[in-house]
Structure 1
């Protein structure tokens, strides 16, 4: 990907947009708190920035499935830039309320699954199959790095200015990305049709279950850190930083692999890396294991996307179910923590993830 003339020109725009999205993770919740401090509205605002993509991924398939990858990704970037820009302008003039904020966030995310599908489809259109995993890994590594750098940068900018400024920067980053997609030539190599629909469906189901089983960690980890470890938000942040750093290293390593690891092996290894948290291992060991979890998580999306890369609709469907599965798992995490405790919930999810990997191996995924 680094050497391809078209993709190399896209990388700065992709990196800027990913950083903008990483910053918005903080800005959206902070702006929601400013508009209405009730927790329910904060939760709805955060969900509105991602969940409608699942609806768009299914409802718009009839019209979008045959579109070129650059066009899909470009349309998503234009919609994101327009809706987020509207939020920033309305905030600046004092005309934004919580309901309008949520509505614009929902509009901005409608094409997100197709935007993601378009990015991966573009790689399939421009590169031979043997280079898909490495190129996919570049995309995921950029995203993982943005989740490390974006939130602290957003915190600094909000302290200096306001959350509307951060959202305006995110809107600008999507506008730049939309312009960079105009650099892609209109002629393209058609990806080959996928001739194994049963295997495609099985991979999408396995991916959805994988994301679903990780969802409860978002609910259990803060409680585990606060109650079981007696820590604070700083300690929780270090856990997530360790995971993100491991994912960045894993992504860089994935760009260099020559033989793609089986998806089942990645899932099982991920579950095994999470076991020390659920088993109550000493804190340094548990944090190191969480970093290893990030490391082994990194190949999952590049490898899974490479298997779906010839079918834009399958890519969008995968993105849609992923957008639903993780939040649903997080919602399930609440009752699990109430019933079993935070550490036991982590253990249950780790063991279930290992079992999912074993079943996927038996099914040949």
Structure 2
């Protein structure tokens, strides 16, 4: 363990106290994936159950995009632990209120959706806070490993949480599961408060930059951030939005492909999701080992490889082939977000990082829902299999276009690079 790139993360005095709380909260979030929709099912009338389930699921995530914009003026200068802690407090309070109102038999459908929406208002800032804290307390060479740990916790919770929730719902009902999720967020909020006392995280930024790892001011290594010059920071946000958007129709097309084209049961659909999740856990753990690659080319390579793994489904390949290739898709998918976060952490000044990441979260959180909404008309027009093929080929084209943009970047382009004494720009023409 000590020889792995994860040891500096797991042994860090701040992160080693936060990670258990993050793991507990991630499991609670994984359980809520089932509980949120199931409680909506139990509350809604038979004639409109689908509408209310969709409203509840959307309310649990989409308001984060609004909160990322509305609260920018008040939160942009806050430390990472403070932002993540406030999000955990809001989640715990709103979910706990749902449980209390339900217990006294006053919970209505509109009230339920409204409380879910309130709980999500700071979600973009909470995510930004987690990754900002990493940049505050760790030198640059350990960012990718720490991002990978965060991603692995989330992917593992998506595998373990739903079956645990299913058992608990069968035993005690969905409200109990939401109550446990509220408790998990309260534990996380307390963890942030005890591990990083108020005002402490901001003082660590300079230390992390000074530790700044292996950057020689006389020989700037611009390869790691070449993507910043090719598409810029706004381009990173746009790229991720398009990537997630193109994957969105998959969530509509795959179930219909299994049911209509394969004439198979939901068991096979669950198996596809399971192997994808297992691959994603492995991919999250492998993220840190990409740290010595140029991050821009690695990111576009991941997009291209992920599109390739969707091709067998779109081409109607047999299950024995498409299933293991889809597991490889999970392996490719998982390192993407840690790589993007590492690029932001390396190129954005510490004072701006949390607001940049909040904007990133606000924009990308709506990408998959929009893509999923577009999946319905696409499946109607093209069929499920052809929609999967369209999703795969457009994702591949996105990866190829990004790779071409990197190769064809102009020589006079200016790069930004973090140094121990601040942020400087490097002109390739002059630096050779």
- Coarse TM-score class (shorter-chain normalised): over 0.9
What residue in structure 2 maps to residue 159 of structure 1?
A: 170
What residue in structure 1 maps to residue 319 of structure 2?
A: 283
Range that drifts further, 251-260 or 22-31: 251-260
What residue in structure 2 maps to residue 52 of structure 1?
A: 63
What residue in structure 1 maps to residue 204 of structure 2?
A: 189
* Root-mean-square deviation over aligned CA pairs: 1.5
Q: Distance in 1 between matches of 2:26 and 2:37?
A: 18
CA deviations on 1:104-136 (whole Å, 9 max, x unpaired) are 000000000000000000000000011101100
1:25 aligns with 2:33: yes
- Identify the match of residue 111 of structure 2 among 93, 100, 107: 100
Task: Return structure 1 stretches of 4+ with deviation > 3 angstroms.
Answer: none
CA deviations on 1:251-306 (whole Å, 9 max, x unpaired) are 11113333244211111111011111101111021111110000011110000011
1:72 aligns with 2:83: yes
- Identify the match of residue 333 of structure 2 among 278, 297, 301: 297
> Unmatched 5+ residue regions in structure 1?
none
CA deviations on 1:306-355 (whole Å, 9 max, x unpaired) are 11124211111111111110000000000000000001000000000000
What residue in structure 2 maps to residue 338 of structure 1?
A: 380
- Helix, strand or coil at the partner of 2:105: coil
What residue in structure 2 maps to residue 118 of structure 1?
A: 129
Q: Distance in 2 between matches of 1:357 and 1:256?
A: 21
What residue in structure 2 maps to residue 180 of structure 1?
A: 191
The structural deviation recorded for 1:362 is 2.1
Q: Distance in 2 between matches of 1:24 and 1:212?
A: 24
Asked if structure 1 preserves the Cα contact closer than 8 Å seen for 2:144 and 2:291, the reply is no
Q: Distance in 2 between matches of 1:238 and 1:266?
A: 23
- Helix, strand or coil at the partner of 1:259: coil
1:208 aligns with 2:241: yes
- Helix, strand or coil at the partner of 1:5: coil
What residue in structure 2 maps to residue 271 of structure 1?
A: 307
Q: Distance in 2 between matches of 1:213 and 1:161?
A: 38
- Helix, strand or coil at the partner of 2:249: helix
TM-score by length of 2: 0.82
- Helix, strand or coil at the partner of 2:317: coil
- Helix, strand or coil at the partner of 2:406: coil
> Unmatched 5+ residue regions in structure 2?
1-8, 210-224, 408-432
